[in-house]
Amino acid sequence: MHADPKGVLTGVHFLDGDHACCEGTLAAGARFAAGYPITPSTEVVERFASRIPTVGGIFIQMEDELAASIAIQGAVWAGAKAFTVTSGPGFSLMMEHIGLAAMTETPCVFVDVQRGGPSTGLPTLPSQADMMQARWGSHGDYGIIALCPNSPQECFDLTIQAFNLSEEFRVPVMMMMDECVGHMTEKVVIPEPDQIEVTPRRYTKLSPEEYRPFEPREDLVPDMARAGAGYRFHITGLTHDERGYPNMSVETQDRMVRRLQTKLEPLANGRALCETENLEDADVVVVSYGITSRVAQRAIQFARARGIRAGKFRLITAWPFPAERIRELAGRVKAFVVPELNLGQMVLEVERAAMGKAKVIPVSHAGGTVHNPDTILNAIVEAVR
Amino acid sequence: MTEATTVEIPEGAQNPVEPFLRMDRMPHIWCPGCGIGTTVNCFTRALIDSKANLDKVAIVSGIGCTGRVAGYAHLDSFHTTHGRAIPFATGMKLANPELKVVVYSGDGDLFAIGGNHFIHAARRNMDIKVICVNNMTYAMTGGQSSSTTPAQVISATSPYGAFEPTFNLVALAEAAGASYVARWTTYHVKQLSRSMEEVLKKKGFCFIEVLSPCPTLYQRRNKMGDGLDAMKYYKQASKIRNGAPTGECTLSKSGEIVVGKFVDRDRPDYLELLRAQMTESLGERYVESEASCSC
C-alpha cells in the first residue's frame, strides 16, 4: 500500500540525517514514538514531538530507555507502528527489550545514532562500534535486521524500509546511523505519498477460536492480532508454543528459537541490500558501511587513479550479514579491505564469510572522527602488493 | 459502591469465574496457601460486576509469581519483562485509549526493579490500573528480600534478619500523584473486589496494594505458619481506616495492618492534559491521535 499522505512532507528539503530519519518514520506510518534524550540522536524525537500533534499520533518522553523501548511494544500490540531512538548508553539499556521484541515477534524500529564508547564515551562524536551489540546484545539466540544509511537521503529512505521489513518479518529492526550521518545536512527528496510503498501489518483473518498467535505461515512468520479486537490472545517473553502459552520443553525451545533465526534467511543473501561498484575486474574489494563508506569511496577513487583494480561493496543490510555474496567474491579477489569506526567488528563477518579464500585486512579506528582516506588507500595498496 | 450481582455458573463450568480464565492452562503454578489466586478470583468478580467489555480489557504483568496472572486471564494478556509492565501498559493505553489497561504484578517487580516506572506513571496520572500483590518477598526466585520485606524478617538473602527500611507503597503512590489508592489483604475479599471494580470504572492512575501470604518461602522461614495462619493474622491485625493518612500506614512484620481506601481524587489524566495543551497551543491544527489506526 502507499504512504498515508498526512505523514509525508513531499518536496525537496535540506535536512540532517536525524531529521530525515524522523520524516522517514512519519512517511512509513509510525504514529507512536517513545524516547529519552541522548546525544547525538535526540533530534529525531524532537522533530517527531513537533510534527506529530498535527499529523495525529503520540510522542511520549519516558523516564529512561528501558521504559521507552517497551512502551513502543505496548503501542504496537495496541495497533500502532512505533519506534524509539537512542545512542550507545541508551542502546545498552534497550537490549532487554530488543530481546523481548525478537521473542514476541513484535515489529518495531530502534534507531541507534552511534557515538564513541564504551560507557559515556564520546557523546558528540562518531563511531560504528555498536554493530555487534545490535546483532548480539540481548541474551539468547535470535535474529534481527540492521540497516546502515550513509546519507540524510538514506536516513529517510531506509527508515521506511526498516518499518516495512519489521512488518514483513516481525522482527525489531535497527537503524544503525552514526553521529556523522545523523548530523550531516544534505538535500533530501521526499516523494509523493503514492510513490512510497508501505507494508501494512498482517493481521489474522481467522476467528478468535481458530487463531493461534505463533502459528507461522509458509514464510515462517505468524499473523498478528491486536489488543481490543476480541482475540484475547496471550503474549509472553517465556518460551512459548504456537498458542503463545509458556512451554518449557526442549522441543518447543528448539522449534521456536530456530524459527526466530531462519525466518530471516531470505534477507541474508538474495535480498540483501548492498551497493557495489567495479566488482567485475576487482583485485581488492573495500567492504564498508555508514559514514565510512563515503570515506572509502574517496580511497577507491585514488586507488583506481593509480591503476589498482579496487571495487566497492557497501553493506546496507549489515544484519543478516550477506555471507554468500562475500563468499562468492572471495573466490575471485585477492583481498578485502574493511575500514570501520571500531576496532574490528563487521570485519569478523567478512573473515568468516571469506573462509580463507581471500585476505581480509581490517582498517580499524577507535572513533571520534572518520578515517583519513589515505589510511584506507594504504591498506588497498598493501592488499594488492 | 454497587452491590455485587449474583453470578450464574455457566453451563459446563464448575465455578463462575471459569470464563475469565484460560482453563486450558490449569493447574496454575501457585503453591497451596498462596494468596495470588484469591486476588485473581476477586479480580474476575470485579470484571463481572463492573460489566466491562472484556474485549477491551488488557492485562499486563511483569515477572514473578504475580507476573503469571496475565497468563491465566482470558483477556488480551501480556507477560512482559521484569519491572516493565507499567511502561508497556503506558504505550498500549496511549496507542488505543479505548482499552482499559490493568497492570497486575508483585512487590519486587513493581517497586524494586520497576519502581521508577511506577512513580512516573503515577505522576503523569496515566489512565492505567495497577494491582500489586505484596507478599513481601521475591517468591519466584526462592524468597529473597524485597523493598517491602519488613525488619527482622529472615529471607534467603537476609539470613540474619532484614534491616533495610521499607517502602510504604500506599504513601509512595499518593505522593507520586495516584488518583486512587487502596490497600486490602487476601482476607478482605469483598472489599478487594469492590476496590477493583471501582478502579475499573475510575479514570486516571489507580493503585491497589493487596497483602498476600507466601507460606512456602516467607512464612516457613519465619515460623509464621501456613496460609490459614496468615488469614488469622490478617483478620486480627487489620484495621479498616478509610481515608487514613497514608504516611501512617507503614507495615511491619507482625504489627497492625491499616487497610481501606485512602485516596480517591479526580485529576485530569495524561491524555486529557495532552489534549488540553495541544488544543491551547495548536488550536485547529491539532489532530487527535489516531495511533491505533495507523496500520
Strand bridging mode B57-61 / A145-147? unpaired
For residue B292, the chain A residues in CB contact (below 8 A) are 78-80, 226, 228
Q: Which of A310, A290, A55, A222 is nearest to B289 (CA)?
A: A55
Taking each helix axis from N to C end, the angle separating B85-95 and A65-77, rounded to the nearest 10 degrees, works out to 50
Please report which confidence band the pLDDT of residue B14 belongs to, taking 50, 70 and 90 as the band edges: confident
The pLDDT of residue A268:
87
Mean of the pLDDT values across residues B251-258? 97
Please report, as a single letter, which amino acid is at residue A61. Q
Please report which confidence band the pLDDT of residue B15 belongs to, taking 50, 70 and 90 as the band edges: confident
How distant, in Å, are the alpha carbons of A74, B42, B71 from that of A138? 19, 37, 24
Determine the residue of chain B that is closest to A31 in CA distance: B291
d(CA B92, CA B101) in angstroms, rounded, equals 8
Sequence-distant (6+) residues with CB within 8 A of B51 are none
pLDDT for A38-72, tens place per residue?
A: 999 999 999 999 999 999 999 999 999 999 999 99
Please report which confidence band the pLDDT of residue B295 belongs to, taking 50, 70 and 90 as the band edges: very low
Q: Of the candidates B22, B94, B116, which has its C-beta nearest A63's C-beta?
A: B116
Residue A231 near chain B (CB below 8 Å): yes
How distant, in Å, are the alpha carbons of A68, A204, A252, B115 from that of A228? 22, 14, 28, 28
Residue stretches of chain A with pLDDT short of 70: none
pLDDT > 60? residue B204:
yes
Please report which confidence band the pLDDT of residue B19 belongs to, taking 50, 70 and 90 as the band edges: confident
Determine the residue of chain A that is closest to B21 in CA distance: A232
**Dihedral (CA of B188, B194, B196, B199) sign:** negative
Q: Of the candidates A53, A72, A245, which has its C-beta nearest B278's C-beta?
A: A53
Domain edges within chain B: 18-266
Q: Which of B57, B74, B65 is nearest to B210 (CA)?
A: B65
Q: Where are the beta strands (DSSP E) in A18-136?
A: 32-35, 58-61, 82-86, 108-116, 122-126
For residue A96, the chain B residues in CB contact (below 8 A) are 81
d(CA B187, CA B190) in angstroms, rounded, equals 9
d(CA B103, CA A213) in angstroms, rounded, equals 22
CA atoms within 13 A of residue B202's CA, in its CB half-sphere? 26
Judge contact between B62 and B117, C-beta under 8 A. Answer: no
Q: Of the candidates A74, A76, A246, which has its C-beta nearest B89's C-beta?
A: A74
d(CA B180, CA B260) in angstroms, rounded, equals 11
- Classify domain A274-384 at the CATH topology level: Rossmann fold (3.40.50)
pLDDT for B210-236, tens place per residue?
A: 999 999 999 999 999 999 999 999 999
pLDDT for B81-137, tens place per residue?
A: 999 999 999 999 999 999 999 999 999 999 999 999 999 999 999 999 999 999 999
Are B89 and A34 an interchain contact pair (Cβ–Cβ within 8 Å)? Answer: no
Sequence-distant (6+) residues with CB within 8 A of B7 are B16, B45, B48
Judge contact between A33 and A45, C-beta under 8 A. Answer: yes
The pLDDT of residue B5:
54
Are A78 and B96 an interchain contact pair (Cβ–Cβ within 8 Å)? Answer: yes
Q: Of the candidates B116, B288, B294, which has its C-beta nearest A80's C-beta?
A: B294
ipTM at complex level: 0.97
Domain edges within chain A: 5-195, 274-384
The angle formed by the CA atoms of residues B275, B279 and B285, to the nearest 5 degrees, is 115
The pLDDT of residue B294:
41
Phi, psi of A13 (to 5 degrees): -125, 165
**B18-266 belongs to CATH 3.40.50.970:** yes
> Is A101 exposed, middle or buried (CB count within 10 Å of its CB: 0-12, 13-18, 19+)?
buried
Mean of the pLDDT values across residues B150-165? 98
**Dihedral (CA of A83, A86, A88, A92) sign:** negative
Task: Return the C-alpha cell found at B252.
Answer: 511491619
The pLDDT of residue B9:
76
The pLDDT of residue B1:
44
Tally of CB atoms within 10 A around A257: 17
Please report, as a single letter, which amino acid is at residue A8. V
pLDDT for A347-375, tens place per residue?
A: 999 999 999 999 999 999 999 999 999 99
- For B:228-287, CB contacts with A below 8 A are 278, 282, 285-287
Judge contact between B262 and B269, C-beta under 8 A. Answer: no
Residue A66 near chain B (CB below 8 Å): yes
**Dihedral (CA of A187, A192, A193, A199) sign:** negative
Sequence-distant (6+) residues with CB within 8 A of B173 are B118, B122, B181, B207, B209, B246, B263
Q: Of the candidates A55, A67, A79, which has its C-beta nearest B287's C-beta?
A: A55
Task: Return the C-alpha cell found at B32.
Answer: 497451596
- Classify domain A5-195 at the CATH topology level: Rossmann fold (3.40.50)
* Domains A5-195 and A274-384 alike in fold: yes
Q: Which of A334, A340, A276, A327 is nearest to A309 (CA)?
A: A334
Judge contact between A177 and A112, C-beta under 8 A. Answer: yes
For residue B278, the chain A residues in CB contact (below 8 A) are 53
Cell numbers 529473597 correspond to B144
Are B81 and A54 an interchain contact pair (Cβ–Cβ within 8 Å)? Answer: no
Reported as type and span, the H/E element at residue A284 is strand A284-288
